[in-house]
Every structure is written in structure tokens, then in C-alpha cells.
């Protein structure tokens, strides 16, 4: 029998065509063989400015321009490469040293291969995105070379060649081609070969290094290369060491953690319902207790101990398995802080795993359901263990070097040593970092990343990225905050600033009404409009007016800055804003969503100047019943910008009878009616522990006077009511027009079991009932939760109730059924955000949708289509702005907390007597009781803090105030904790007498002493924290 074999050698075109074959598994379980044909080309440029060949062959765009060449003609060199070099990293080099490649001190003129980029994408999406943005920036001169599409550099995979080997070969082939190509180009120019830059492959693969040597390609390992640079000590720290270390370690060392299940096993069992997937959350009070909310059960499952959490870090998406019933536990009533737990924190071994059959496992799921159903305090809760991690959500963490972990010779030597970095986020375990600069890093805020967490390592290992600066300096702490909460704080890039109007601050509303800008706009300049905002507000989003109509009704208008006029969809500024999502307010800093020019000038509805606005106008009866509503783009001129107080004064001043004041009085009257209507409908009056910082830093006074609790004036709620009303009106309008893609905001009704614990506590301690059947019922029952002797008690309950609720979220209308649109807190069936487009991206989108809904065409006639978006894209945006919104809130709160701490410290330094900070005595409220401490809320500063046993001041040790002295007390202390009654009785060991002990119960008002202290010695030394001492009950 004759066997035919096709021979391509005679076909001249055969070399240009090749194919790529792989197996694709689809979501539905199909497995397909995919064949992609690949047509190789010869016109992909090398992009070196040295090259004289490529400019003539590079593909040109329609106007005949070729993409500018990236690689410099005189690249930087090192000692080993005095003529300069182009770097060609392989995938591992990027995986291990992305921070290095991003470093501004080195790593210029880098050729990134398409092969490497794709491989990186498969291995780590975050790194891939970072590399992409590196390629996009011009400064670093990274060139993405499509080697797979170029005939000379395409590499066909050999028989029995592994993919890795093939890709390594591709890298070497490119390096070889580049040097030959540049040589040829130089020869053409008649230049000397000597001056050509070297092509340096960077790879950590030993085999690749060896082969490169054989083939005459210059190749270096990442660390060898970095060692040749200036400042190598610092740079070397930025290499991900875990990979190498693992190889070196081999099988040595005990394995602390069980292995993860295989992916296929996980998938099978997830489908079968015996494993569950969810996000791993760590309790802020106990770093050893995590919980995972899974779709199958109403309540989160508990994950106790290191063994069970099995290398998961807060935020990871994990797969968990429910543990047998005998291992179910009650949630811990202890405060466990990683820093406090000394060395050996191995939780009780639960390795004796019973062999359970499938049937039993199934039954277990039932039990979970039952236990969840009738859970009461103290009953064992279902626990689970992590058996796999679907997605790591590791990011860069801000932390400090644990001084206890540095060696004694730390300061002197440049020797590499391993230190622990304690992340700022308490829920993240300490990170093992190898560094050569341990001495320098002590007392600094540093940024680290986690590289890996292996089974044989108790802690994750990571590497140093950069230092933010000295601890407790304003710059470092602010940056730390922003990094921790993932706030984009870099200045706006040029591409964004290019989108601003060319006139800059001189931009004016066009004088002629024939101007394009007036098209579709109503002239409302004659209306008596004013704005009311917090004092010193620069970005004025909204302004109001009211006037009587001839028919006796009133016209009320809310005018919102017309940001969508300036921010056109999909330009660089819009994309940047959608990424930032919201403006972030810190105590002493504002991170804008939009460039300064727009936010504080062109868009801002400043008084006395004409501005573009988007107006919502209602005709209302004198009883504030809406007769009709109207939306229009407009031009307004605000008559005055009031602060809340000024507005209040003006309204209250009977001598003022001008039209503007009258109109404000009308507004106030209407707002009260609207508010009452809302309350009648069951809106909640929630409370959050907020304080305001007035940073008008006079150095003399008590720094703490800057800290003020927020006061509510009638004018506050005036503005608030109309904004709510406008939002609701707009939400209805855009939903009617875009039933699938309207951007709305909802607040889901919290499941009743969320309130279980609070209800229980209230009925036990105060004999109060909380009716959670509806928001109205809850509002009523919250109103009844009062304590005549203790006016703050009601606020406290409100704060706690708020924490039981879910957070409000943006969503697109198609994502939920209409009854689910409800905003629980506001008791409104539909809601959106329309009134603050300067500081929230959602509002900007709603503006576009509304403009489109009312048929506004805009200057170019395209505004009608700009509001239209696909649902998918909108859902992506929603996800991002929800995330940014939450983070912005956290960052703001953390900033206040930090400021309060600093103010306490400043006060302490001023007032301290003989070196001991006496602190300040305040009122506090017990929010939670643990077995070994309580959480106390101090309303004056809006802070809450954990009070440990040693920080209970007993009559016997009232004199001891310093941290060290109190630390001594730990060993003597004992507590008597009553789980059912939420009380804790603290006493000295062996002295349980009543008069020598201190008993504290939930909701109790206590006298506390607040001060800012610095930890001395031991772990976490040098860290400042706000310490709360409980002085006694009241």
C-alpha cells in the first residue's frame, strides 16, 4: 500500500501559511479541536530607530503614516553592555519582576513578544494588564513585537516539543533575528557594527540560558542582569523570589496545609452541589475566623483556623466543603489579633478527617440548611474548609516591617534577610519578604505584593515594591490609604487634559442664542436660582429655585451642572472618569473624578455667572403635590451660593423679604412636606458614626476642636429632599424610555436573619422589639428604641441596624425584575443618581440617558444616541462604580480616623504631663462584647475601638496608664463572660470581689479615656494606634 505524504517544499507559498491547533473546552462542556490558520507576513517592523529597512516596509495607515518607531537609537547600557542594549524578557522574567520593569530607573527599550504577552495573559491577568499599560506609555519605550506573525520569527512547534520549550525557542529566535536584522540595517547604512546595541534575552529558565549560550544568543537571568545595574540592592528586592526559593527548597520542610482539590474535581462537585463557591471574608475582630457566603445557604459558612482557611486571603474566590457536624462551632466570641497572638498560632489540629461518603455529604448539606433555619445564639454553626481557590484577588498591600523579625545585624549589613511585613489591613496575614534593606525599611510605610503561598510555608511570601515614606507622615499615610482602597490618585494624563475646552477658565456660555451651544437649551437666566452647599464647597453640583405661577401653583426647579456637555462619551476623559467612578473626599485632600477645570469652574454652578445646566422642573400645588414634571437642558445664572448656615440664617431672618428669600422659604416649606410624605411611606432615618473635620489648622488651640460631629440644619434636608425628589423623577423617566438599560440605584430589602442578632440583643438587654417586616415597620420600631436617660442610645441602635443592611448599589434596569428596583432605605419604588455629576460617574451616565430620553440633540446632534448603551457594557460600569463607591467611603472614613488619631497625638504632645499622655476622657458606648474584650464607640470622635482586658481600668490600677505598664497586666486579668446576657466582668486573677472588678454590658454607656499611643517593643513596635481605656460604667 502506498502512503502519501504531502510535500510542501515545492510550494513557494506554503511557508507563509501555518496553523495553530488547540483544544477548546466550552462552558457547556463541549470539547473542540480548533484550527486557526496563520498567514505570516514580512512587513512587521522591528521598531528600532536604528533600522533603515523597516521604515520602508512597515504597513502604513490610510493617510500613509507608519506607526512611530519605539526603540531608541542609543539605548541605555550597563557595564556589561557599554553599547546599550534592547531587552527581550521571557514570560517568567515578567512574572517575577513586573515591578522592576515598571521601575523608572531602569528597564528601557524592551521588546515584548506577542508570545510572551499571550503566555502572561494566561498566567496572570493583572500582570498582563500592567504590561499592556506599560506598552502604551511612551516613556518606557516598550515595543510589542508580533513575532508569531512575522515569517522569520515564527516558530513551528516540533514533534514532542513542549509548549514552554517552543516559546523559549521563539524568544531566542527573535533575539537572533533582531541582531541579524540590525546588523543588516547597519551594513546598509554603512555604519560600524560596533555601535549596535546588544540584544539581551532575560530569562530565569536554566535550560533556556544554556541553549541561548549554545546558539550564541546573549541571555541573562533577571537577578544577574539587575545585579549589573546601579542601585541593584533596591532593585533586587523587587524580584519575586518565591519561584526560585521553591526550587531550591525542594521537598524539604513540613507541609502545613492540605493540598487543593484538582480543578476538575472542584468543578464536578460544584455542579453536584457538594462543594460551594464564594468570596472569602475574614472577620475584622478575629483574623482566624473567616466566612464565605455561598448561594446555596442563607447565611455565610464559618471557616475557622488556618488549616481550614488553607492559604486563602481575604477577598479570594474560594471553593469550600462543609465540615462534618461534630466540627461545627459557635462563632468565636474572642477578639483575636494576629499581632497579639505570639509566635505559634497553629490552631487546634483538625486533621483527623473522618472518611465521609457521598451520601453523608449530601445529608450534611441538609443539616446546614436546618441549622441555618433555627439558629439562635450559641448554637454550633456550620463550618467549612477551603479546598480550592478559583481566583486570587491579591493586590499590593501597604504595611510595615515587623521590627521583631529583623535580625540584629539588620542595620549594618546589606545581607539579604527575611522579614515579616504586617499589612495595614488586619485581615491579611503577615507577609514574608526577603530584602537587603531591612534596616532602611524599618519605620517606613512600604508597599509589598504577595507572590505565592505554598503548602510548606505558614505565611505567604511576597516582595517589596516601594517605600511610601516615613510612618505617620502625612504624605505616606495618605498615599497608603489611597493604595489600600484602590483609589486612582495619579494626576490626570495629558490625553485626558486634552479633552478639556481649549478656552480653559475663560470659557463662557455663548452670548448669541444662535450659537450651537444654545441648541435645545431653555433660557432660565431670569429665574432666581441659588445653591446651598457645605461651607467652602467648590464643586457646586446643584441649584434650586421656586416661584409662584399665575394659577396659584408653584414652579420648583432643580438645576444640575451639565457635565455631560463637557464630557463626551468614550473620549479619554470619559474613560478616566468611568474608571475613577467617584470623587474621593479625604480630610485634607480631594481626589477628583474630573479635572479641576471642569469640577470647580466650568461645570460648577457658581453664582453670578452663566452656566449650562440640566433642569428638572415641577409644577406643584401648594400642598407639594406634583402636577407635572419637565426636563430640559438650560442656561442658568445662580444668584447666590449659600452655605447651609447662611441659608438658614437668611430664611430665619424676618427682615429679609426679597424674592430670593421668599423662594427659599417656599422651598423649605415644600421640603418639609416632601420629607413627611417620605417618612409616612416608610423611609428609614439611618445613622452613621460620622464626624466632620474642619481643618482650618490654627496651631494654637486644642487640635481636637477641629473634630466635629455632623450637625443637621433644616437647610440640609431642604437640599436633600429636592435632590431625592429629582432623582426619583428622573429614574422614572429614564426607566420608561430605557426599560433594559436605564442606570438605576437600588437598596435591596435586607433578609430578616440579618437583624437576628440585633433583635436578640435588644430584647435581652432592653426588652425592645425590632420589627423588620418592612422598612416602615423598622422605622417605627427604631423610633421606639429610646432610652430617656441616654439620648444617644437611639443613634447607637440606628448605627447597628444600618450595619445589618445590605449596601445600596447601581444596576442596570434589565438586571432585575421591576419589584426588585425598590430602594429600601428611601422607601421609593425606583431611584437613581442624577444630582451630582461632577463627583459621581453614575450621574453623568444618567444625564446622558435623560438627554437622550427627552430627545435633546446637542451641539452635534448626536446626544440622542449617546445615552444608548449595551447592557453588558453598562453592567461592567455598574460593577466598577459600585466598587469605587464603596472604596471611596472606606477611604474617607479611614482618613477621618487617621486624622482623629493625629489630633489626639498632637493634643497628647501638647498637654502631656511628664511625658505621659493623659488622654482625654469621653463618653463611650459598648457596641459588642467579646470573651476577652469589648468594642466601644466614641461618638465625640466617631471612632470605635477594641478594648482588651488589660485596658479595663480597675480601681486597683487606676494609676497605671502607659502602654508598658498596662501590658504587664495581661497575665493577671481574668474575665467572666456571659454569652447570653452580653456582659463581661473583668477582674484581677484571684480577686473576683465586686469592688475590685469592672462589669460592662452591651449598649452600656461607659466612661472612657482616649489617647494615641505608640507601641513599644515586641511585635508591631512603632505603630501608632488610638487606645481606648474603659474607666467605668455610668
Minimum gap (Å) between residue 327 Cβ and another protein: 16
Query: Which residue's CB is nearer to another protein, number 163 or number 958?
Result: 163
For every residue of 224-242, DSSP letters joined together read HHHHTSTTHHHHHTTS--H
Q: Is 819 an interacting residue with respect to another protein (CB under 8 A)?
A: no
Element at 569 (helix H, strand E): none
Minimum gap (Å) between residue 455 Cβ and another protein: 18
Minimum gap (Å) between residue 466 Cβ and another protein: 37
Query: Which residue's CB is nearer to another protein, number 367 or number 931?
Result: 367
Q: Which three cell numbers stand for residue 505?
A: 477658565
Q: Which stretch binds another protein (CB under 8 A): 244-252, 267-275, 407-415, 560-568?
A: 267-275
Minimum gap (Å) between residue 321 Cβ and another protein: 10
Element at 279 (helix H, strand E): strand 275-282
Minimum gap (Å) between residue 259 Cβ and another protein: 12
Count of Cβ atoms closer than 10 Å to residue 910 Cβ? 13
Q: Is 971 an interacting residue with respect to another protein (CB under 8 A)?
A: no
Of 180, 193, 358, 783, the one binding another protein by CB under 8 A: 358
Q: Could you tell me where the beta strands, DSSP code E, fall in 90-182?
A: 110-113, 142-145
Of 9, 63, 264, 657, the one binding another protein by CB under 8 A: 264
Minimum gap (Å) between residue 840 Cβ and another protein: 43
Query: Which residue's CB is nearer to another protein, number 263 or number 911?
Result: 263
Show Cβ contacts of residue 223 under 8 Å, excluding neighbours closer than 6 positions: 204, 236, 239
Of 8, 11, 22, 224, the one binding another protein by CB under 8 A: 22
Query: Which residue's CB is nearer to another protein, number 116 or number 927?
Result: 116
Assess contact for 56 and 94: CB atoms under 8 A: no
Q: Is 695 an interacting residue with respect to another protein (CB under 8 A)?
A: no
Calpha distance 222→109 (Å, rounded): 16
Q: Is 700 an interacting residue with respect to another protein (CB under 8 A)?
A: no
Letters for 338-357 (x = contact with another protein by CB under 8 A, - = none) are -----------------xxx
Q: Is 123 an interacting residue with respect to another protein (CB under 8 A)?
A: no
Minimum gap (Å) between residue 334 Cβ and another protein: 32
Of 157, 372, 816, 886, the one binding another protein by CB under 8 A: 157
Calpha distance 923→523 (Å, rounded): 55
CA end-to-end distance (rounded Å), the chain:
103
Q: Which residue has the cell 540584629?
A: 408
State which of positions 158-187 bind another protein (CB under 8 A): 160-161, 163
Q: What are φ and ψ of residue 800, in 5° steps? A: -65, -40
Assess contact for 561 and 613: CB atoms under 8 A: yes
* Of the candidates 445, 424, 422, 420, the residue with the CA atom closest to the CA atom of residue 435: 420
Calpha distance 851→861 (Å, rounded): 11
Minimum gap (Å) between residue 14 Cβ and another protein: 14
Show Cβ contacts of residue 473 under 8 Å, excluding neighbours closer than 6 positions: none
Calpha distance 134→619 (Å, rounded): 54
Q: Which three cell numbers stand for residue 297?
A: 445557604
Count of Cβ atoms closer than 10 Å to residue 48 Cβ? 25
Q: Which stretch binds another protein (CB under 8 A): 236-244, 266-274, 325-333, 610-618?
A: 266-274
Query: Which residue's CB is nearer to another protein, number 265 or number 972?
Result: 265
Q: Which residue has the cell 480601681?
A: 955
* Of the candidates 1011, 749, 976, the residue with the CA atom closest to the CA atom of residue 906: 1011
Q: What are φ and ψ of residue 201, in 5° steps? A: -80, 135
Of 263, 341, 363, 911, the one binding another protein by CB under 8 A: 263
Which value, to the nearest 10 degrees, does the dihedral of the CA atoms of residues 162, 166, 169, 175 take? -150
Show Cβ contacts of residue 866 under 8 Å, excluding neighbours closer than 6 positions: 564, 568, 569, 848, 851, 852, 858
State which of positions 269-308 bind another protein (CB under 8 A): 269, 271-272, 274
Assess contact for 842 and 883: CB atoms under 8 A: no
Q: Which residue has the cell 484538582?
A: 262
Query: Which residue's CB is nearer to another protein, number 25 or number 655?
Result: 25
Minimum gap (Å) between residue 261 Cβ and another protein: 9
Q: Is 121 an interacting residue with respect to another protein (CB under 8 A)?
A: no
Minimum gap (Å) between residue 483 Cβ and another protein: 36
Calpha distance 124→122 (Å, rounded): 6
Please tell me the count of residues contacting another protein according to CB under 8 A. 37
Minimum gap (Å) between residue 616 Cβ and another protein: 54
Of 7, 13, 21, 654, the one binding another protein by CB under 8 A: 21
Of 9, 12, 13, 23, the one binding another protein by CB under 8 A: 23
Q: Is 9 an interacting residue with respect to another protein (CB under 8 A)?
A: no
Minimum gap (Å) between residue 76 Cβ and another protein: 39
Chain centre distance of CA 882: 10
State which of positions 29-88 bind another protein (CB under 8 A): 29-31, 33, 35
Calpha distance 294→390 (Å, rounded): 14
Query: Which residue's CB is nearer to another protein, number 25 or number 512?
Result: 25
Minimum gap (Å) between residue 8 Cβ and another protein: 14
Q: Is 268 an interacting residue with respect to another protein (CB under 8 A)?
A: yes
Interface contacts to another protein, rule CB under 8 A: 1-6, 19, 21-25, 29-31, 33, 35, 157, 160-161, 163, 262-265, 267-269, 271-272, 274, 355-359, 361
Amino acid at each position: 500500500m502506498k502512503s502519501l505524504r504531502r510535500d510542501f517544499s515545492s510550494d513557494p507559498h506554503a511557508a507563509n501559511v501555518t496553523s495553530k491547533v488547540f483544544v477548546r473546552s466550552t462552558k457547556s462542556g463541549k470539547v473542540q479541536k480548533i484550527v486557526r490558520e496563520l498567514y505570516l507576513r514580512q512587513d512587521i517592523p522591528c521598531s528600532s530607530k536604528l533600522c533603515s529597512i523597516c521604515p520602508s516596509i512597515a504597513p502604513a495607515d490610510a493617510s500613509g503614516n507608519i506607526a512611530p518607531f519605539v526603540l531608541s537609537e542609543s539605548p541605555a547600557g550597563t557595564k556589561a553592555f557599554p553599547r546599550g542594549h534592547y531587552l527581550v524578557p521571557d514570560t517568567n522574567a515578567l512574572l517575577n519582576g513586573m515591578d522592576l520593569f515598571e521601575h523608572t530607573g531602569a528597564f528601557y527599550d524592551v521588546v515584548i513578544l506577542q508570545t510572551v504577552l499571550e503566555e502572561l495573559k494566561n498566567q496572570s491577568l493583572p500582570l498582563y494588564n500592567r504590561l499592556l499599560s506599560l506598552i502604551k506609555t511612551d516613556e518606557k519605550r516598550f515595543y510589542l513585537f508580533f513575532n508569531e506573525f512575522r515569517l522569520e520569527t515564527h516558530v513551528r512547534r516540533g514533534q514532542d516539543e513542549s509548549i514552554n520549550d517552543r516559546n523559549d525557542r521563539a524568544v531566542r529566535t527573535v533575539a537572533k533575528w533582531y541582531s541579524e536584522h540590525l546588523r543588516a540595517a547597519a551594513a546598509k547604512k554603512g555604519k560600524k557594527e560596533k555601535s549596535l546595541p546588544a540584544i539581551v534575552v532575560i530569562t530565569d529558565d536554566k535550560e533556556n540560558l544554556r541553549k541561548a549560550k549554545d546558539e550564541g544568543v546573549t541571555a541573562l537571568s533577571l537577578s544577574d542582569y539587575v545585579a549589573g545595574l546601579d542601585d541593584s540592592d533596591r532593585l533586587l528586592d523587587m524580584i519575586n523570589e518565591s519561584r526560585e526559593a521553591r526550587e531550591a527548597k525542594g521537598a524539604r520542610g513540613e507541609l502545613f496545609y492540605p493540598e487543593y482539590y484538582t480543578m476538575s474535581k472542584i468543578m464536578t462537585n460544584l455542579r453536584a452541589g457538594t462543594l460551594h463557591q464564594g468570596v472569602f471574608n475574614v472577620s475584622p475582630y478575629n483574623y482566624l475566623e473567616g466566612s464565605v457566603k455561598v448561594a446555596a445557604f442563607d447565611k455565610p459558612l464559618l471557616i475557622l483556623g488556618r488549616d481550614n482557611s488553607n492559604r486563602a486571603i481575604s477577598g479570594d474566590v474560594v471553593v469550600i466543603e462543609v465540615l462534618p457536624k461534630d466540627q461545627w462551632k459557635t462563632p468565636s466570641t474572642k477578639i483575636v489579633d494576629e499581632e497579639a497572638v505570639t509566635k505559634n498560632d497553629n490552631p487546634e489540629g483538625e486533621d483527623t478527617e473522618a472518611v465521609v461518603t457521598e451520601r453523608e455529604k449530601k445529608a450534611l448539606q441538609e443539616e446546614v440548611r436546618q441549622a441555618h433555619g433555627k439558629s439562635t445564639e450559641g448554637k454550633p454553626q456550620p463550618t467549612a474548609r477551603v479546598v480550592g481557590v478559583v481566583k486570587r484577588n491579591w493586590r499590593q498591600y501597604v504595611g510595615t516591617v515587623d521590627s521583631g523579625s529583623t535580625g540584629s545585624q539588620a542595620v549594618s549589613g546589606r545581607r539579604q534577610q527575611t522579614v515579616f511585613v504586617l499589612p495595614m489591613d488586619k485581615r491579611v496575614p503577615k507577609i514574608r519578604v526577603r530584602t537587603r534593606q531591612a534596616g532602611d525599611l524599618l519605620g517606613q510605610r512600604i508597599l509589598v505584593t504577595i507572590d505565592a503561598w505554598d503548602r510548606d510555608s505558614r505565611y505567604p511570601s511576597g516582595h517589596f515594591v516601594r517605600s511610601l515614606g516615613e510612618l505617620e507622615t502625612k504624605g505616606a499615610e495618605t498615599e497608603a490609604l489611597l493604595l489600600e482602597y484602590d483609589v486612582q490618585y495619579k494626576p490626570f494624563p495629558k490625553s485626558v487634559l486634552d479633552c478639556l475646552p481649549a478656552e480653559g477658565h475663560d470659557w463662557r456660555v455663548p452670548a448669541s442664542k444662535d450659537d450651537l451651544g444654545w441648541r435645545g437649551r431653555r433660557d432660565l437666566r431670569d429665574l432666581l436660582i441659588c445653591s446651598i452647599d457645605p461651607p467652602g464647597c467648590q464643586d457646586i453640583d446643584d441649584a434650586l429655585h421656586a416661584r409662584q405661577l399665575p394659577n396659584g401653583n408653584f414652579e420648583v426647579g432643580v438645576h444640575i451642572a451639565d457635565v455631560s456637555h463637557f464630557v463626551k462619551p468614550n473620549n479619554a476623559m470619559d474613560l478616566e472618569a468611568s474608571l475613577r467612578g467617584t470623587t474621593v473626599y479625604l480630610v485634607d485632600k480631594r481626589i477628583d473624578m474630573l479635572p479641576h477645570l471642569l469640577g470647580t469652574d466650568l461645570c460648577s454652578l457658581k453664582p453670578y455667572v452663566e452656566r449650562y445646566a440640566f433642569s428638572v422642573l415641577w409644577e406643584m400645588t401648594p400642598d407639594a403635590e406634583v402636577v407635572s414634571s419637565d426636563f430640559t437642558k438650560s442656561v442658568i445664572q445662580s444668584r447666590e451660593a449659600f452655605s447651609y448656615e447662611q441659608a438658614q440664617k437668611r430664611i430665619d431672618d424676618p427682615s429679609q423679604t426679597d424674592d430670593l428669600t421668599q423662594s427659599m422659604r417656599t422651598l423649605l416649606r415644600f421640603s418639609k412636606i416632601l420629607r413627611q410624605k417620605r417618612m409616612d411611606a416608610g423611609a428609614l432615618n439611618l445613622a452613621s458614626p460620622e464626624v466632620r473635620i474642619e481643618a482650618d489648622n490654627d496651631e494654637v488651640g486644642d487640635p481636637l476642636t477641629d473634630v466635629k460631629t455632623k450637625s443637621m440644619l433644616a437647610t440640609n434636608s431642604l437640599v436633600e429632599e429636592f435632590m431625592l425628589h429629582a432623582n426619583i423623577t428622573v429614574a422614572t423617566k429614564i426607566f420608561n424610555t430605557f426599560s433594559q438599560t436605564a442606570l438605576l440605584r437600588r437598596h435591596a430589602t435586607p433578609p430578616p436573619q440579618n437583624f437576628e442578632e440585633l433583635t436578640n440583643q435588644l430584647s435581652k438587654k432592653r426588652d425592645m422589639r425590632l420589627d423588620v417586616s418592612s422598612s416602615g415597620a423598622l422605622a417605627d420600631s427604631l423610633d421606639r428604641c429610646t432610652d430617656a436617660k441616654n439620648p444617644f442610645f437611639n443613634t447607637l441602635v440606628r448605627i447597628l441596624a444600618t450595619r445589618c443592611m445590605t449596601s445600596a448599589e447601581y444596576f442596570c434596569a434589565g438586571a432585575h425584575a421591576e419589584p426588585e428596583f425598590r430602594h429600601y432605605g428611601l422607601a421609593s419604588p425606583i431611584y437613581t443618581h442624577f444630582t451630582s455629576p461632577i463627583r459621581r460617574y453614575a450621574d453623568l451616565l444618567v444625564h446622558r440617558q435623560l438627554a437622550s430620553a427627552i430627545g435633546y440633540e446637542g451641539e452635534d446632534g448626536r446626544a440622542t444616541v449617546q445615552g444608548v448603551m449595551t447592557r453588558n457594557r453598562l453592567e461592567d460600569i455598574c460593577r466598577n462604580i459600585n466598587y469605587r463607591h464603596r472604596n471611596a467611603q472606606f477611604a474617607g472614613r479611614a482618613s477621618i480616623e487617621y486624622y482623629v488619631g493625629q489630633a489626639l497625638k498632637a493634643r497628647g504632645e501638647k498637654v502631656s504631663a511628664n511625658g505621659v499622655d493623659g488622654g482625654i476622657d469621653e463618653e463611650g458606648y459598648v457596641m459588642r462584647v467579646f470573651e476577652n474584650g469589648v468594642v466601644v464607640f466614641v461618638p465625640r470622635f466617631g471612632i470605635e475601638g477594641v478594648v482588651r482586658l488589660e485596658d479595663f481600668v480597675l480601681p486597683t490600677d487606676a494609676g497605671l496608664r502607659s502602654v508598658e505598664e498596662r501590658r504587664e497586666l495581661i497575665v493577671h486579668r481574668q474575665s467572666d463572660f456571659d454569652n447570653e446576657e452580653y456582659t463581661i466582668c473583668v477582674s484581677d486573677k484571684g480577686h473576683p470581689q465586686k469592688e475590685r472588678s469592672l462589669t460592662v454590658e452591651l449598649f452600656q454607656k461607659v466612661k472612657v479615656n482616649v489617647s494615641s499611643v505608640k507601641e513599644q517593643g515586641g511585635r508591631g513596635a512603632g505603630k501608632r494606634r488610638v487606645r481606648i481605656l474603659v474607666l467605668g460604667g455610668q
